[in-house]
Amino acid sequence: MRIAHFSDTHVLSLTGVGPGRFLNKRWTGAVNLAMNRSRHYRVEIFEALLAAVVAEAPDHTLCTGDLVNLALEPEFVRVSELLHGHFGADSLTLVPGNHDAYCKDAVDAGLFARWFGAWQPPATADDAYPVLRVVDDAFIVGLTTARPTPVFMATGTLGDAQIAAMQAAFRRPEARDRFRVLMLHHPLFPEPKRRLDTMRRLTDADALLAALAELGDDGPGLVVHGHNHEFKRMALPSGVPVIQVASASRSGSTHRAEFNVYVIEDGRLAGVERHIHDPDTGSFRICDEAGRPQAAARAAS
């Protein structure tokens, strides 16, 4: 199997949005946009990435959240249009990130479920997690870490009930003899090198790690997430790979937009292809985990 994975598109749209919508946490997001994000996260790169994902013809595609920027309805509408242009309901599974629940008004209005529920089996309410997907020989479990947070905070939380439901999901009969994947937005491990990391962490990561350890061989064979906008490979204490994908829309000279393709063979992760945006051509080059184009990687080996 080949499973594609992208995350953190951060699409912005202010169409029809009045100033009153910024009398909350969004004012800090607007400042960040003016000083940083609007220069780095480009919807045209995301559109090119979607076309590149489809061209790879993966068996399934995963998205681990932060599709929108300020959780304004025009943003959800824009991303929904882009996704509908590339994915049927059975070809994509997605979960939300903290920006998809940036403000309480977006959560109360159920914007994520309304515009993206088609890719969350079954398409029900926001709190109907985990989402479950069976794709041939793969069993996929998707969690939400998205919660409205105070100003300057970007943390995520699962909650005891969702963690217990995740354990039950992996013990379902459909999971047996299939390659099992866990997807969520926030990282499982702290990132001390990142400034203000404690304000961006998964608050109950330790509880999740303990629950995964309890599952043992019934747990996932791969964990994927986004949030930190750069590629990184880690592992659970058991050795199960944990892969962080970079942003799907970032321009610039470092941590450029990319998506991953996970190659599954004989019930294990056999390889990770990084498809990294080339600003000179606008295309996505297939690279190894070190970011070297495939031809260069083969020559080096």
* Residue ranges making up the domain that contains 205: 2-300
Among candidates 147, 83, 145, which has minimal Cα distance to 118? 83
DSSP code of 37?
I
pLDDT at 298: 46
Read off the pLDDT of residues 235-246 as tens digits, 9 standing for 90 and up. Answer: 999 999 999 999
**More confident position, 195 or 133:** 133
Which of 95-109, 208-222, 269-283 has the lowest average pLDDT?
A: 95-109
Q: Are 134 and 169 in contact (CB under 8 A)?
A: no
Per the structure, the count of domains in the chain is 1
Strand pairing class (258-265; 241-244): unpaired
Alpha-carbon distance of 143 to 188, in angstroms, equals 12
Could you tell me if 67 and 74 are in contact, meaning their C-beta atoms sit under 8 angstroms apart? Answer: no
- Cβ–Cβ < 8 Å for 199, 152: yes
Q: Which residues contact 150 (CB under 8 A, 6 or more apart)?
A: 25
Whether residue 20 is predicted with pLDDT greater than 80 in this model: the reply is no
pTM for the full model? 0.90
Mean pLDDT computed over 273-297: 90
Q: How confident is the model at residue 295 (pLDDT cuts 50, 70, 90)?
A: low
Contact 240, 220 (CB under 8 A): yes
Which alpha helices (DSSP H) does 85-139 contain, by range?
Answer: 104-108, 111-116
Q: What pLDDT score was predicted for residue 32?
A: 55
Residue 98 confidence (pLDDT) above 50: yes
d(C-alpha 60, C-alpha 54), whole Å: 10
Cβ atoms of residues 216 and 253 within 8 Å: no
Mean pLDDT of 108-137: 85
**Nearest C-alpha neighbor of 142 from the set 222, 246, 241:** 222
Percent of the chain with pLDDT over 70: 87
The reported pLDDT for the residue numbered 146 is 95
| Residues 170, 153: Cα–Cα separation, whole Å | 31
Q: What is the mean pLDDT of the chain?
A: 89
| pLDDT at residue 37 in the model | 56
Q: Distance between terminal CA atoms of the chain?
A: 25
Summarised one tens digit per residue, pLDDT across range 186-231 is: 999 998 777 778 888 999 999 999 999 999 999 999 999 999 999 9
Q: What is the mean pLDDT of residues 290-298?
A: 74
> How does DSSP classify residue 247?
-
| pLDDT cut 90: percent of the chain above it | 73
Indicate which CATH number applies to the domain containing 203: 3.60.21.10
If you average pLDDT over residues 1-9, what whole number do you get? 97
pLDDT band for position 34 (cuts 50, 70, 90): very low
Rg of the chain over CA atoms, in angstroms? Answer: 18
What are the structure tokens assigned to 299, written together?
Answer: 């020559």
